[in-house]
């Protein structure tokens, strides 16, 4: 065939396969398999850590839920749990401390802003 002034031989299109050394090809294949196994191992480690952290979070939430259930049962019986009393009094004290802390921080910020 003559195409554009050039003679072309009939056959397959595209690049001709390079003559690759069989040993090099096998070594690349082995290296690729090693890397694949390493990635798989890391992925499974990550997933196992994720599952264990979620399980710990679930246990903590279940314990917290049980504590709230006990508090509710005590309040249904007309008793106020000491923890709730501490929370309520702690909130009042905490608000006073927060206000004093905010004022102190505001004073420090003003001092820092005014200094060159």
* For the chain, percent of residues with pLDDT exceeding 90: 44
User: 1 with 7: CB under 8 angstroms?
Assistant: yes
pLDDT of residue 86: 86
Q: What residues contact 70, with CB distance under 8 A and at least 6 apart?
A: 81
pLDDT of residue 46: 98
Q: Given CA atoms 55, 60, 63, 67 in this order, what sign does their dihedral have?
A: negative
pLDDT of residue 8: 60
pLDDT of residue 64: 94
Report the alpha-carbon distance of residue 39 to residue 96 in Å, rounded.
Answer: 54
Q: pTM (2 decimals)? A: 0.50
What pLDDT digit, counting tens, does each position of 70-115 carry?
999 999 998 888 888 888 888 766 665 665 565 555 555 444 444 4
**Which residue from 67, 101, 104, 62 is spatially nearest to 82, judged by alpha carbons?**
67
3-state secondary structure 4-28: CCEECCCCCCCCCCCCCCHHHHHHH
Can you tell me whether residue 71 is helix, strand or coil?
helix
Q: What residues contact 83, with CB distance under 8 A and at least 6 apart?
A: 67, 71
């Amino acid at each position: 065939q003559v195409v554009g002034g050039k003679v072309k031989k009939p056959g397959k299109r595209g690049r001709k396969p390079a003559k690759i050394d069989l040993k090099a090809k096998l070594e690349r294949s082995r290296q690729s398999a090693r890397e694949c196994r390493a990635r798989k191992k890391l992925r499974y480690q990550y997933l196992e850590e994720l599952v264990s952290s979620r399980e710990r979070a679930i246990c903590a939430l279940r314990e917290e839920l049980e504590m709230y259930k006990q508090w509710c049962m005590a309040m249904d019986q007309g008793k106020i749990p000491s923890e709730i009393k501490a929370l309520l009094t702690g909130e009042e004290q905490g608000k006073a401390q927060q206000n004093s802390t905010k004022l102190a921080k505001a004073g420090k910020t003003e001092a820092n802003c005014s200094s060159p």
